[in-house]
Amino acid sequence: MSDDPNLLYDNFPFPELHPDRLCTIGTLFGMTPAPATACRVLELGCGQGGNLTSLAMVLPESQFLGIDLSEKAIALGQADVATLGLQNIELRACNILDLPEDVGLFDYILVHGVYSWVPREVQQAIFKILRKHLAPQGIGYVSYNALPGWHARGMLRELLLEHVPKDAPALERIASARRLLSFLSNYVLTGKNTAGAYLKRELDLVNGLSDLYLYHEHLVDHNEALYFKEFTRRASEEDLQYLGESDFYMMMPDRFGPEAAQALESISHDLIEFEQYMDCLCTRFFRRTLLCHKEVELQRSLSGRRLHEMWVRSRLRPESSAPDVASHAREMFKGTHGDPIAVTDPLLKLALFRLASRPVAGLRFLSLFSDEPDERSEAHLGSAILRLYGLDHVQLGIWRRPFTDQPGPKPLTSPLVRLQADRGQTWVTNLENDMVPIDRFDACMLRRMDGEHTHEQILSGIVEDLHAGRVQISQNGVAIEDRQVIGELMWNKLPTLIGSCLLMA
């Protein structure tokens, strides 16, 4: 069966593809990549451009080109670009195999959800494009299904491919696959049957996802999972080298426990083997790998001094409202997930305490000190923050994010969010290029947050929507019509919208 070109993939944004994230990781490893605010970005297999369009909107001085084989997907994306009036993005229907030479050099080339799903010829073309079109300090992102973890996920794909009629149209194959999924979900033996329990988890996952995901992941002809070692071998044939992972913490062995790093080092001959064994330890099934030219001299030993120009955001909150930041007394900080962590270092305690007051916009690294820092104190605090970055407790960036922790009297969200809310989408794209689920009430608020309307005017609009029957508002199952109560609901929702990086400074 040939894959159906009219069946469009979901149109999602991805924070892992944000140029600032790639720039930050490159900088940490000694590169000098272009800043997100002034760069050229190419995305191969961009679908409808859901990822690039939001980037183009928040990074108006940068240039974006997205190509995809599907004319239908590109046409839909182009309509969004026109509606938003964006001048710095082009979406083009084009085969990866036919990318014209004259597109020039790019600081970032993104290839997400494509490599494992295309034939070998296109896989080779992807690496050739990276080699030919990445600027000397450019960074390529390529995601793919990884072994050995994918073997477990591949069990369900095999079952489905055995079952669905091979030459039927895509919609018929999806319907047939759904019938098998329902049969398996109802009767698979779990409990002591560990493989069955695993299969049940996969079934639950796919049952909750769209038909498009089901089709593209499990029913299309091509889906090659490969070992990281094989991926980097293929990249090196095109004179590309491994830079890192887009999820920085995935490169750190700390999450496997205190002795794991030593054990991994003793079993591995080089970084590639080290990473490969980490994949085995966490049975990883998907990778988001960053590549750069082989000529780039990477500095693998991380230095706290490289945080000099960076912004820091933290997920950690102090348990005490007045922590002792002067002495080495132990203070507890709690993340969004997991156990609280103990901190004794006064410099780090002060930094985390300050960061807790600016969870969305973050603070400049240099403003985390109480006095002018010298090289030693910068290196000291920088290293401590890098350890927390490696555990995914803090985020680093070079881009000054246009988010706010404190919206003014006329709150502002992005034009894209307003468009998505207007369309009745159940999620919107935040300023971090991530998806935020919203309900109808959130949508009523967001579509009016254009920097022109006061909170009172937004409230009046919601009440109008209610009277016109465009929204129903209820609390604990009881319908609400009272303006004052709706106003309170609105105020209660505001911190969540702020915390979701939806409001602009």
Residues that bind ligand SAM (CB under 6 A): 9, 12, 45-47, 67-70, 73, 95-97, 112-114, 117-118, 122, 216
For the bound state, the minimum distance from the C-beta of residue 446 to ligand SAM, rounded and expressed in Å, comes to: 23
For the bound state, the minimum distance from the C-beta of residue 112 to ligand SAM, rounded and expressed in Å, comes to: 4
For the bound state, the minimum distance from the C-beta of residue 216 to ligand SAM, rounded and expressed in Å, comes to: 5
Q: Quick one: 45 or 362, whose CB is closer to ligand SAM?
A: 45
Q: Quick one: 5 or 104, whose CB is closer to ligand SAM?
A: 5
Q: Quick one: 99 or 449, whose CB is closer to ligand SAM?
A: 99
HEC letters along 299-343? CCCCCHHHHCCCEEEECCEECCCCCCCCCCCCEEEECCCCCCEEE
Intra-chain end-to-end CA distance of the chain, in Å: 51
Element (H, E) at 396: strand 394-397
CA of 298: how far to CAs of 30, 32, 234, in Å?
6, 10, 20
Q: Which of 121, 386, 387, 131 is nearest to 239 (CA)?
A: 131
For the bound state, the minimum distance from the C-beta of residue 51 to ligand SAM, rounded and expressed in Å, comes to: 7
3 state SS of 30: coil
Q: Quick one: 428 or 503, whose CB is closer to ligand SAM?
A: 428
Is 109 in contact with 44 (CB distance < 8 Å)?
Answer: yes
Q: Quick one: 13 or 411, whose CB is closer to ligand SAM?
A: 13
For the bound state, the minimum distance from the C-beta of residue 381 to ligand SAM, rounded and expressed in Å, comes to: 37
For the bound state, the minimum distance from the C-beta of residue 101 to ligand SAM, rounded and expressed in Å, comes to: 16
Q: How far apart are CA 48 and CA 68, in angstroms?
A: 8
Helix-, strand-, coil-residue percentages of the chain, each rounded to 5: 45, 15, 35
For the bound state, the minimum distance from the C-beta of residue 97 to ligand SAM, rounded and expressed in Å, comes to: 6
For the bound state, the minimum distance from the C-beta of residue 95 to ligand SAM, rounded and expressed in Å, comes to: 4
Q: How far apart are CA 47 and CA 54, in angstroms?
A: 14
Q: How far apart are CA 125 and CA 5, in angstroms?
A: 20
Q: Residue 449, Cβ neighbours under 10 Å: how many? A: 23
Q: Which of 213, 292, 261 is nearest to 391 (CA)?
A: 261
Q: Quick one: 238 or 450, whose CB is closer to ligand SAM?
A: 238
Determine the distance from the C-alpha atom of residue 389 to the mean position of all C-alpha atoms in its chain, rounded to a whole number. Answer: 16
Q: Quick one: 68 or 275, whose CB is closer to ligand SAM?
A: 68
107 Cβ contact list (under 8 Å, min separation 6): 19, 33, 34, 39, 40, 41, 134, 135, 137, 138, 139
Q: Quick one: 110 or 431, whose CB is closer to ligand SAM?
A: 110
